[in-house]
Chain A
Amino acid sequence: MLIETRVNNSSYELASYIKILGYDYFLSEDGKFGIKRTTLKSGNKEEIFNFYRKNKPSIYFVKPTTIEALRYSIIYDNVNGIVIDKENSRLFKKSMLNLIRQYNKVVEVCINEISIVYKVINWSDKWIEYPIFSSCASRFNELWSPLSKIALLSSLGAYKEDAIRWIYLSPLVLFGRDP
């Protein structure tokens, strides 16, 4: 089962193109089409806790901007995944990566950001068990097909088997399945 893990602006047109690309389901930020996911950009742990308590999002991602928020979002069970990009990649030090490994947390990265993708591939050997690579598309021509994602990951140095596992199986962890 193939899942596109992040679409910013969903529409009927985009949903039909996602089907053509070969995905079975997709997660959208606005929730008009597909499965709704919520991403919170936050710097303190109270906000992360209170947002979940008030809104009860079904799939809850956090983009932490401070070390404290990152530590809390790793430990907090209701956070499904952590978003990493150029803004917060400096937070991911060895101690935080060890914590991610301990709690088996999902780490999401937009596939457009090649430098971060490369970092995550390197970290996946030891620390990140379930990395997720999303298209982060707002329009249909920004979508990435699964084959292109696998080719990009393997040309950046990932093993082909790992790349296939990350694209096909890692998103299933968000739905509570063990890949």
Chain B
Amino acid sequence: MILDFIILGWLAILTIVNIYMLRIRIIYFKKLKNKRDIKSKRYVIFEIIPENTFENRQIENQIRNAVKELGGNIWLEIANPKLVFTYKNYGIISTNRVGYKIVLASLPYVREIDGKEILLVPRRTTGSLKKAKKLIGIR
């Protein structure tokens, strides 16, 4: 009987201490830094020279092929570049903070689209789509 009370008391103390520690957040899990890097978006503004009209799908495919040529499949999966849209002779690529450099570096590898010789020139990198739109003249 006495032993039962002791065990019950001990368990009660443990429960109270655990609740207290959780409340003051002594036990916590450190967030992965890399995860935060991958989550944060980057928008690369580029210029198409000379001015031409292509389908967005064609441009995106060529950019993805260029990233694959330079960095391989691993960097393609990490950077995961996607063409958001094109406006006049400017375009915006969405990528992340880890992979935006490889996207910038691989743009010169896009040398032709649909049989026409072109040059993609990176102009700016921004952290928000709103800013990117503003920079290329969309209100």
Contacts and interface: CB of A to CB of B under 8 A. Distances in A.
A20 interface: yes
Interface stretch (A27-35, A78-86, A142-150): A142-150
Interface in A130-179: 139-145, 147-148, 151-152, 154-155
A141 B104 contact: no
A7 to B, nearest CB: 14
- Grouping DSSP codes into helix (H, G, I), strand (E, B) and loop, the A interface class, with mixed when no group exceeds half, is helix
A11 to B, nearest CB: 14
A77 to B, nearest CB: 35
Contact of A143 (B70, B101, B105, B119): B119
A75 interface: no
B104 A139 contact: no
A5 B95 CA distance: 31
B119 A148 contact: no
Contacts of B121: 20-21, 145
A157 B105 CA distance: 13
Contacts of B71: 155
Contacts of B101: 151, 154-155
B49 A151 contact: no
A145 B108 contact: yes
A17 interface: yes
B122 A145 contact: yes
B111 interface: yes
A143 B105 CA distance: 12
Given A141-B117, A145-B121, A20 B104 contact: no
A114 B106 CA distance: 12
B110 to A, nearest CB: 8
A154 B20 CA distance: 47
